[in-house]
Homo-oligomer: A and B are copies of this chain.
Amino acid sequence: MSEKIPYKIYLSESEMPKQWYNLRADMVNKPAPLLNPGTHQPMTAADLAPVFCDDLIKQELDNTTAYFDIPEEILSFYKMYRPSPLVRAYFLEKMLQTPAKIYYKFEGNNTSGSHKLNSAIAQAYYAKKQGLKGVTTETGAGQWGTALSMACSYFDLDCKVYMVKISYEQKPFRREVMRTYGASVVPSPSIETEVGKKILEQHPGTTGSLGCAISEAVEKAVTSEGYRYVLGSVLNQVLLHQSVIGLETKAALDKYGVKADIVIGCAGGGSNLGGLIAPFMGEKIKGEADYRIIAVEPASCPSFTRGKYAYDFCDTGMVCPLAKMYTLGSGFIPASDHAGGLRYHGMSPVLSQLYDDGLMEAVSVKQTDVFEAAEKFARIEGILPAPESAHAIKVAIDKALECKETGEEKTIVFGLTGTGYFDMMAYEKFHDGKMQNYIPTDEEIAENLKQLPKV
């Protein structure tokens, strides 16, 4: 291509994807099914119906349909903040003096501040279509809760968010964004649910945990008429919706005749990584093209690199279905010092299977290295990244510097999932030299893995 590649590639509205891509349809080894925690039999649609919306259950269980039409209403909402730009990191390349060509797909230009909105709007749409009154969910730092609030406001659905109490109190700003969108935000544990009351009785001064918030949200959904529970990561349906990230990225590259060599994404539950890599992985599986695909996880929560591929509970309360995934054990909680998301003990079953099949790599990175990369990136590319996203930045820079050593002109694409405007307390710690690098010991991980269910 002789045409100069612009700093930012925006697809036109007519070039935006009209369908989501279901990578599972092309996987040779399908992801293992969710199991009923009581019977250890695969969960059926009927088993899931009290918890999830009907259409979402169909998407969750479908391992064969390669493409799902994106409903018109969702396409219309997508146009509010999509297409997101694929940015050519000219400034970063110049600073690194690398022959590598670096691109990043930036998902932060919306009020939720991240890619989470792509699935939130889909889940809200199907809830509305089913005639539900509302949905429940949990949130930690609040990225997912914010996205869901925006989506529910758009479809006039009630939105109940159980927010981990310590975040509710210490991070009031995202809570206020959620309130702006009409969500009711409840500090968890609360006295609104049986599980919440029980935990409060046992631990009166508790500041809450994500596991507890999940349990409350699920209980509220299954005990309230016209409500279902929704989740922002891990699930197959979420990766399906997030494929819009990868499809746009690939379309933008194809438009300029660019072939990616390395695709990099941060990984917590896997929603962003699964979405970003979907069309690349699909081609790789079918032998149409080869890509090096790298998952980046925090050294403080290293499910891919130090976890075990096994059936495990999805929540600490052990009430949700069992999923086969790379896991650190459902009791594992990363150090409170760890900033941002990517705190989940497990990993999307789809990505777990792909990793187990050797189709992708994984690396873990230390927190201070991540923030160093984040600050470097903010200064040179002008975007202050979310700590989550900065994991991918760190490894993209590493790979670009390797190219500098070898002289290879590789094309590196990474996912910049969001902005860090609500994470400034972590940046402050970093600036003040007070940030720690917590890395779990082998014994700690082994101890937690003892709790795996016998399946």
- Chain A interface (Cβ < 8 Å from any Cβ of B): 6-8, 10, 12-13, 79-81, 91, 109-111, 113, 150, 153-154, 172-173, 176-177, 179-182, 375, 378-384, 419, 421-422, 424-425, 427-428, 431
Alpha-carbon distance between A378 and B154 when the two chains are bound, in angstroms: 10
Q: Is there an interface contact between A382 and B424, defined as CB atoms closer than 8 Å?
A: no
Q: Is there an interface contact between A111 and B382, defined as CB atoms closer than 8 Å?
A: yes
Q: How far is the CB of A59 from chain B (nearest CB, A)?
A: 24
Residues of B within 8 A of A421 (CB): 111, 113, 173, 177, 421-422
Out of B81, B150, B419, B427, name the residue touching A180 (CB < 8 Å): B427
Identical copies in the complex: 2
Alpha-carbon distance between A422 and B422 when the two chains are bound, in angstroms: 8
Residues of B within 8 A of A179 (CB): 427-428, 431
Q: Is there an interface contact between A110 and B382, defined as CB atoms closer than 8 Å?
A: yes
Question: Given A173-B173, A173-B425, A180-B431, 16 more contacts at CB 8 Å?
Answer: A7-B13, A8-B79, A10-B10, A109-B109, A110-B382, A150-B379, A154-B379, A172-B424, A173-B421, A173-B424, A176-B424, A176-B431, A177-B427, A179-B428, A180-B427, A421-B421
Q: Is there an interface contact between A378 and B431, defined as CB atoms closer than 8 Å?
A: no
Alpha-carbon distance between A380 and B80 when the two chains are bound, in angstroms: 10
Alpha-carbon distance between A196 and B265 when the two chains are bound, in angstroms: 48
Alpha-carbon distance between A80 and B384 when the two chains are bound, in angstroms: 13
Q: Is there an interface contact between B80 and A382, defined as CB atoms closer than 8 Å?
A: yes
Q: Is there an interface contact between B176 and A379, defined as CB atoms closer than 8 Å?
A: no
Residues of B within 8 A of A173 (CB): 173, 421, 424-425
Residues of B within 8 A of A380 (CB): 154
Take A111-B419, A422-B421 as given contacts and tell me if A384 and B180 are in contact as well, using a CB distance cutoff of 8 Å: yes
Take A7-B13, A80-B7, A427-B180 as given contacts and tell me if A111 and B384 are in contact as well, using a CB distance cutoff of 8 Å: yes
Residues of B within 8 A of A424 (CB): 172-173, 176-177
Q: Is there an interface contact between B378 and A181, defined as CB atoms closer than 8 Å?
A: yes
Alpha-carbon distance between A381 and B76 when the two chains are bound, in angstroms: 12
Take A111-B378, A111-B419, A378-B111 as given contacts and tell me if A79 and B431 are in contact as well, using a CB distance cutoff of 8 Å: no
Alpha-carbon distance between A110 and B419 when the two chains are bound, in angstroms: 10
Out of B111, B176, B378, name the residue touching A428 (CB < 8 Å): B176
Alpha-carbon distance between A379 and B183 when the two chains are bound, in angstroms: 11
Q: How far is the CB of A432 from chain B (nearest CB, A)?
A: 9
Alpha-carbon distance between A283 and B390 when the two chains are bound, in angstroms: 46
Alpha-carbon distance between A110 and B85 when the two chains are bound, in angstroms: 13
Residues of B within 8 A of A8 (CB): 79
Nearest 5 CB-CB pairs, A to B?
A: A173-B424, A176-B424, A7-B79, A111-B384, A80-B382
Out of B91, B177, B379, name the residue touching A181 (CB < 8 Å): B379
> Which residue of chain B has the shortest Cβ distance to A381 in the bound complex?
B80
> Which residue of chain B has the shortest Cβ distance to A83 in the bound complex?
B8
Residues of B within 8 A of A427 (CB): 176-177, 179-180
Alpha-carbon distance between A428 and B424 when the two chains are bound, in angstroms: 19
Residues of B within 8 A of A378 (CB): 111, 180-181
Q: How far is the CB of A46 from chain B (nearest CB, A)?
A: 36
Residues of B within 8 A of A154 (CB): 379-380, 382
Out of B6, B12, B150, B419, name the residue touching A382 (CB < 8 Å): B150
Residues of B within 8 A of A419 (CB): 111
Q: Is there an interface contact between B153 and A379, defined as CB atoms closer than 8 Å?
A: yes
**Can you show 9 pairs from A to B with CB atoms below 8 A apart?**
A80-B91, A110-B383, A150-B382, A177-B427, A179-B427, A179-B428, A180-B384, A180-B427, A182-B379
Residues of B within 8 A of A6 (CB): 12-13, 79
Alpha-carbon distance between A27 and B216 when the two chains are bound, in angstroms: 65
